[in-house]
């Protein structure tokens, strides 16, 4: 047995000990209750972390040289780190996941950009994108990708993980947790924000043509994922939020490959924060109805403020969860949503980027969220995400978690 293998086995042993704790089952029940619109209390999750600033005593230092084994090591280390220091309502899955190896020929366009960094270790960078869709002729660049499932490589990885860890913890092949569509965020990468927004007003027909092409591509990808059996029957995350719901995979599901009716659809148009309700509906919601609207349940919204747009979001079939950005009026959202949908509230991540966490300010923000959802009978999850920095003080995040849990436990 090599040192790397011995180290992985020890990490897996520790992880599985925690994963079998009753608190995981209890938290899963809380997650499901929120998504079932029968909330016991709001759940708190923390994700999208500035990992480069958080390595305490080597807890996050990956030692495996093999890329696949390094991925397993990171899965174990990062989850153990969160579970020890800021668990909130996180759930440890009772197995090591081995993702199905999926390959794509691509849609014919790749991002062209210049980037600027302030911290070479941080993945958060500034982008200046090259516009690759200046005229109608450029639309011909787009093509439908061919998706393939590399069963041989997946099997190799699965057997390798099982050989090393299988007597300690179950190993499971896993697929895609949900179907995600964010057409306009994707377009912003191909065009830049300014050109995209100008053309919505000045060249609406061209903007529709581009959205149409990418929507058709998303639908073609969805069909291929279904045919290849690439969706996951035991998902653990819906873009940083709880995913479990009693409505899925559905009463008619009898096993076998999952289809769109058995999974969550996830939609967003973050770049549309600055467009009117009418334009948002015309250029995004209408297309979301065709794509994520075919799924069993739908979660819509990310960093775009939707407090004045709930009525158009409601037009998406099977809507269950709506994102509430820090820049939205949480009282207005809660009043409009009421008990009909889950409110996925995102407190401002800038709080943990200060030299010292302002707990009084944080409590005020959290109490406003909690007061609004209680007043209007909403189910709610609270998610701290998009954390660009903690100023090299992971303690800020630890303290944020303790404060948030104090507040929700007093709900």
- Strand-pairing partners, residue 384, are 46
pLDDT of res. 394? 98
pLDDT of res. 1? 77
pLDDT of res. 264? 99
pLDDT of res. 188? 98
pLDDT of res. 120? 82
User: For residue range 41-57, what is the model confidence (pLDDT) as tens digits?
Assistant: 999 999 999 999 999 89
User: For residue range 193-227, what is the model confidence (pLDDT) as tens digits?
Assistant: 999 999 999 999 999 999 999 999 999 999 999 99
Which among 313, 213, 300 is positioned nearest to 264, based on CA atoms? 300
pLDDT of res. 118? 84
DSSP 8-state symbol, 125 = -
Q: Where are the beta strands (DSSP E) in 137-240?
A: 147-149, 171-174, 179-181
Among the residue ranges 24-33, 113-122, 234-243, the one predicted with the least confidence is: 113-122
Q: How confident is the model at residue 119 (pLDDT cuts 50, 70, 90)?
A: confident
Q: Is 57 helix (H, G, I), strand (E, B) or coil?
A: coil
DSSP 8-state symbol, 350 = G
Cα(186)–Cα(381) distance, integer angstroms: 26
362 φ, ψ (degrees, to nearest 5): -65, -45
Q: Check residues 41 and 118 and name the one with the higher pLDDT.
A: 41
Indicate if the pLDDT at residue 306 is higher than 80: yes
Cα(50)–Cα(386) distance, integer angstroms: 9
- Strand-pairing partners, residue 321, are 299, 342
User: For residue range 123-180, what is the model confidence (pLDDT) as tens digits?
Assistant: 889 999 999 999 999 999 999 999 999 999 999 999 999 999 999 999 999 999 999 9
Q: Is 180 helix (H, G, I), strand (E, B) or coil?
A: strand
Indicate if the pLDDT at residue 122 is higher than 90: no
The average confidence (pLDDT) of the chain is 97
Provide the whole-model pTM. Answer: 0.97
Q: Which helix H or strand E contains 193, and what residues bound it?
A: helix 193-202
Cα(92)–Cα(96) distance, integer angstroms: 10
Q: Which CATH class is domain 3-409?
A: alpha beta
User: For residue range 341-385, what is the model confidence (pLDDT) as tens digits?
Assistant: 999 999 999 999 999 999 999 999 999 999 999 999 999 999 999
What does R_g of the chain's alpha carbons equal in angstroms?
22
pLDDT of res. 47? 98
Indicate if the pLDDT at residue 190 is higher than 90: yes
Determine contact, residues 299/181, Cβ cutoff 8 Å.
no
User: For residue range 57-83, what is the model confidence (pLDDT) as tens digits?
Assistant: 999 999 999 999 999 999 999 999 999
Q: How confident is the model at residue 400 (pLDDT cuts 50, 70, 90)?
A: very high
Cα(287)–Cα(267) distance, integer angstroms: 10
């Amino acid at each position: 047995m090599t040192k790397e293998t011995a180290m992985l086995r020890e990490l897996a042993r520790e992880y599985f000990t925690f994963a079998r704790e009753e608190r995981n089952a209890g938290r899963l029940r809380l997650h499901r209750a929120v998504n079932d619109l029968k909330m016991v209390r709001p759940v708190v999750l923390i994700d999208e972390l500035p990992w480069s600033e958080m390595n305490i005593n080597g807890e996050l230092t990956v030692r495996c040289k093999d890329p696949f084994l390094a991925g397993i090591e990171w899965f174990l280390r990062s989850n153990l780190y969160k579970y020890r220091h800021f668990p909130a309502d996180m759930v440890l899955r009772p197995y090591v996941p081995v993702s199905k190896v999926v390959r794509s020929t691509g849609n014919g366009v790749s991002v062209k950009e210049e980037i600027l960094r302030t911290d070479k270790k941080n993945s958060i960078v500034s982008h200046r994108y090259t516009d690759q869709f200046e005229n109608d002729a450029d639309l011909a660049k787009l093509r439908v990708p061919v998706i393939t499932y590399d069963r041989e490589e997946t099997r190799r990885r699965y057997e390798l993980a099982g050989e090393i860890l299988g007597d300690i913890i179950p190993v499971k092949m896993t697929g895609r947790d949900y179907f995600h569509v964010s057409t306009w965020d994707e377009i912003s990468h191909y065009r830049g924000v300014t050109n995209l927004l100008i053309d919505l007003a000045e060249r609406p027909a061209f903007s529709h043509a581009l959205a149409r092409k990418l929507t058709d591509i998303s639908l073609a990808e969805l069909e291929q994922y279904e045919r290849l059996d690439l969706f996951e029957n035991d998902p653990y995350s819906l873009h940083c939020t709880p995913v479990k719901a009693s409505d899925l995979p559905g009463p008619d599901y009898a096993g076998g490959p999952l289809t769109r009716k058995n999974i969550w659809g996830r939609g967003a148009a973050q770049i549309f924060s600055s467009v009117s309700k009418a334009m948002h509906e015309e250029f995004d919601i209408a297309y979301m109805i065709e794509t994520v609207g075919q799924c069993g349940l739908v979660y819509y919204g990310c960093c775009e403020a939707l407090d004045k747009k709930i009525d158009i979001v409601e037009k998406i079939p099977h809507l269950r969860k709506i994102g509430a950005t820090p820049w939205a009026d949480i009282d207005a959202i809660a009043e409009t949503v009421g008990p009909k949908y889950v409110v996925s509230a995102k407190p401002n991540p800038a709080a943990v980027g200060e030299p010292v966490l302002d707990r009084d300010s944080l409590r005020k923000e959290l109490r406003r969220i909690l007061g609004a959802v209680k007043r209007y009978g909403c189910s709610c999850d609270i998610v701290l995400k998009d954390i660009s920095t903690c100023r090299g003080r992971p303690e800020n995040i630890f303290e944020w978690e303790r404060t948030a849990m104090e507040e929700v436990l007093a709900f």
